Amino acid sequence: MADLFENPMGLDGFEFVEFAAPEAGVLEPVFDALGFEAVARHLSFTQASEELHLTQPAVSMQIKQLEQAVGVPLFELVGKRVFLTEAGQEMQRYCRSIQQLLSEAEQVFEEMKGLARGHLSITVASTANYFVPRLWATFRMRHPSVSVSLDVTNRAGLIRALAGNETDLVIMGLPPEDMDLVAQSFMPNPLVVIAPPTHPLCKRRGIPLQRLRSETFLVREQGSGTRSLMERVFAEKGLDPATPIEMSSTEAIKQGVEAGLGLALLSVHTLDMELALKRLVVLKVQGFPVLRDWYIVHRAGKRLSAVAQAFKDFVLTETQGIVHVPKV
């Protein structure tokens, strides 16, 4: 019996599938669009070809054919850098819409199969990554065939993911008010000022916020939710804090505070071990802790897959029985 996938004409992969299509020329534009989407996302022909497991000339040919089909250039090369033209930006938006429709179709098929299998895409605030793995581990024990993609980013990245509808669910602090979202709180998120145990303010109570204006604060990059909150708290009191030291991660901030580089404003969810070991101390500052909540968020009108809906329900009903909130 002949192999169903034998290739007697020796065609390459794309040629073989195109040749085997019911009608000539039907699938070729699809492959051209795949090449375009990868190049547009990476702004690199080299990275796109590696992702697609194609040669760079093959990807370049796909782009050339797509440009011929639409009649306008989609990319421009300035020096060694690749940029999207205005038409290319439009094409990228259409590609994303098509990908979203395909994703929704996949969700429908997964729902038909129930929770026996499925995939979940979650985007979480970097601070939430201190407890989200515990939630996922518990959920996956009940649904072992479900897979997950977990993206950890700052607030700016969370808002981009929501705006682009790039993820199933987002776990974040205060959701943006200027977007049409479904946001439900599921756990308290107290934020506190921390210091090393040797700091002279450690034994004081009722510390006025004004007393901290001369202190150096260790902060995350611009776009971080905790940094924005700290700046807002000082601004509401008409205070301008000293020039902060910017660090790339919460772990780096905690280590910097422990070393005596300055103070920091952090969620208590990031401090469980350090407070238990007395490596850091929560300062008794007036108006603190700042009480916020954690939210699970998605775009309004978004069709959640069976897996996404099950995980959302799990987070809303069971988080506080799984995640310990340190006392402050």
Identify the pLDDT of residue 22. Answer: 46
- Domain end, chosen from 48, 65, 92, is at 92
Query: Among residues 166, 184, 148, 135, which one has the least CA distance to residue 294?
Result: 184
The angle at the Cα of 319, spanning 313 to 286, to the nearest 5 degrees, equals 125
71 and 17 share one domain: yes
Identify the pLDDT of residue 234. Answer: 87
Reported as a single tens digit per residue, the pLDDT across 149-188 is: 999 999 999 999 999 888 999 999 989 999 999 999 999 9
Whether residue 8 lies inside any domain: the answer is no
Among 28-32, 71-75, 210-214, 318-322, whose mean pLDDT is lowest?
28-32
Identify the pLDDT of residue 242. Answer: 78
Identify the pLDDT of residue 110. Answer: 65
Q: What is the CATH number of the domain that holds 281?
A: 3.40.190.10
Is residue 66 within 8 A of residue 33, CB to CB? The reply is: yes
196 and 288 share one domain: yes
Can you tell me the mean pLDDT for 58-66?
Answer: 89
180 and 195 share one domain: no
Handedness of CA 65, 68, 71, 75 (dihedral sign): positive
- Domain end, chosen from 74, 92, 110, is at 92
Whether residue 327 lies inside any domain: the answer is no
Identify the pLDDT of residue 116. Answer: 57
Whether residue 196 lies inside any domain: the answer is yes
If 0-12 CB within 10 Å is exposed, 13-18 middle and 19+ buried, where does residue 202 land?
Answer: middle
Identify the pLDDT of residue 124. Answer: 97
Quick one: tokens of 174?
């205060």
183 and 299 share one domain: yes
Distance of CA 306 to the CA centre of its chain: 21
Identify the pLDDT of residue 301. Answer: 87
74 and 128 share one domain: no
Identify the pLDDT of residue 111. Answer: 61
125 and 254 share one domain: no
DSSP annotation string for 113-174: HGGGSEEEEEEEETTGGGTHHHHHHHHHHHSTTEEEEEEEE-HHHHHHHHHTT--SEEEESS
Query: Among residues 95, 111, 132, 93, which one has the least CA distance to residue 267?
Result: 132
Q: Is the pLDDT of residue 13 over 60?
A: no
Is residue 152 within 8 A of residue 255, CB to CB? The reply is: no
Q: Is the pLDDT of residue 139 over 50?
A: yes
Among 41-50, 110-119, 147-156, 305-314, whose mean pLDDT is lowest?
110-119
The phi and psi torsions of 146 (rounded to 5 degrees) equal: -85, 135
69 and 85 share one domain: yes
Whether residue 328 lies inside any domain: the answer is no
Identify the pLDDT of residue 312. Answer: 97
Quick one: tokens of 89?
């930006």
Per the prediction, the chain carries an average pLDDT of 85
Please identify which residue in the block is written with the tokens 């290319």: 88
List Cα–Cα distances, 184 to 120, 148, 172, in angstroms: 18, 21, 10
- Domain end, chosen from 92, 113, 130, is at 92
> Is residue 296 classed as helix, strand or coil in its secondary structure?
strand
Which amino acid type is present at position 138? T
Reported as a single tens digit per residue, the pLDDT across 224-282 is: 888 888 888 888 888 887 789 999 899 999 999 999 999 999 999 999 999 999 999 99
pLDDT interval class at 113 (50, 70, 90): low
81 and 24 share one domain: yes
Q: What is the CATH number of the domain that holds 45?
A: 1.10.10.10
Q: Is the pLDDT of residue 2 over 50?
A: no
User: Which residues span the domain enclosing 66?
Assistant: 13-92
CA 74 – CA 199 distance, rounded (Å): 58
162 and 299 share one domain: yes
Identify the pLDDT of residue 14. Answer: 42
> Is residue 307 classed as helix, strand or coil in its secondary structure?
helix
